Amino acid sequence: MVITIANQKGGVGKTTSSVNLAAAFSFLGYKTLLVDMDPQANSTVSFIDPQGIRFSIFDFLEGSDVSFEEVLQKTDINNLSILPASISLAKLESKLISEIDGHFRLKDKIDSVKYKYDFIIIDTPPTLGMITINSLVAASHLLIPIQASYFALEGTDDLLETFEKVRARSNPDLTILGVVITLYDKRTVIAKDSESHIQKLFGDKVFKTYISRNVRLEESPAYKESIFTFAPNSKGASEYRQLAEEIVKHA
Ligand code: ADP
Ligand code: MG
């Protein structure tokens, strides 16, 4: 299963979900690859020291002969490896636009290593440009994190339109895995309101598991840990574990 986590709104929990779902699958015993497609490299630095990175995913995708193995980094978690990003990835947007196979670059690369993993998770930047399109073309499934807030659904039209375009042209099998409600605070009226809007729009595509606002989730990246070792008894840990189990059931 290749899961792209996308929403062109920033700060909705794409990276937090990528990092902790990847860790959750690994701890459940699945061989997992986390692919960081965001030039901001937040997923990467959540696990590894960027100083130690010689090649990043940009080198792997831009067409030079840097191999998968040369880019691949192990993490402290058994079963979990990462294709790290760096700021150089920002150059990929303009590079791919002018190339005939521009939409397929990541897919071509991922397809040849897919057999090694049970789950591949792709984290994306807060845009709907070539990098996100590449991530959608390479995926079997799209997971959309939506923050339970007043402007929750702002921009989802554009995301769904991009999803449909990718399905129509480049990746007809792409499926919406689900929508996960993030940064949820059940004590607030706004959370309840936006929850019902999200439910109305996405119906049974909304995961039963919600991710609550939990400060532990915010803290763990600074220690290069996922929530499961940083705060194993936190709400964040139990909710991301539960979300991973929901996805496994689906898979
Ligand atoms: P995105 O990748 O969509 O931009 P992030 O995952 O980086 O979003 O989250 C944005 C900010 O909110 C980060 O500082 C992150 O630590 C924090 N955050 C994300 N999810 C939660 C949560 N459930 N509870 C508390 N803080 C969170
Ligand atoms: Mg992010």
For residues 151 and 180, give the distance between their C-alpha atoms in angstroms, rounded to a whole number.
Answer: 15
Quick one: pLDDT at residue 250?
87
Q: How confident is the model at residue 170 (pLDDT cuts 50, 70, 90)?
A: very high
Q: Which ligand is nearest to the CA of 155?
A: 1
Q: How confident is the model at residue 6 (pLDDT cuts 50, 70, 90)?
A: very high
Give the residue-averaged pLDDT of 71-92. Answer: 96
Quick one: pLDDT at residue 24?
98
Quick one: pLDDT at residue 169?
93
Quick one: pLDDT at residue 52?
87
Q: Is the pLDDT of residue 183 over 90?
A: yes
Give the residue-averaged pLDDT of 203-220. Answer: 98
Q: Cα of 11 to ligand 1 centre, how many Å?
A: 6
pLDDT in tens, 105-149: 999 999 999 999 999 999 999 999 999 999 999 999 999 999 999
Give the residue-averaged pLDDT of 152-158. Answer: 90
Q: How confident is the model at residue 179 (pLDDT cuts 50, 70, 90)?
A: very high
Phi-psi category of residue 91: left, alpha or beta, with phi > 0 → left and psi -120 to 50 → alpha: alpha
Quick one: pLDDT at residue 196?
94
For 42, the enclosing helix (H) or strand (E) is helix 42-47
Q: How confident is the model at residue 64 (pLDDT cuts 50, 70, 90)?
A: confident
Q: Is the pLDDT of residue 155 over 90?
A: no
Can you tell me which atom of ligand 1 is nearest the CA of 183?
A: 23
The angle that helices 156-169 and 130-138 make with each other, rounded to 10 degrees, is 60
AA identity, residue 226? S
Residue in 149, 159, 215, 218 to alter for ligand 1 test, most ligand atoms within 8 A of Cβ:
218
37 CB near ligand 1 (under 6 Å)? no
Can you tell me which atom of ligand 1 is nearest the CA of 42?
A: 7
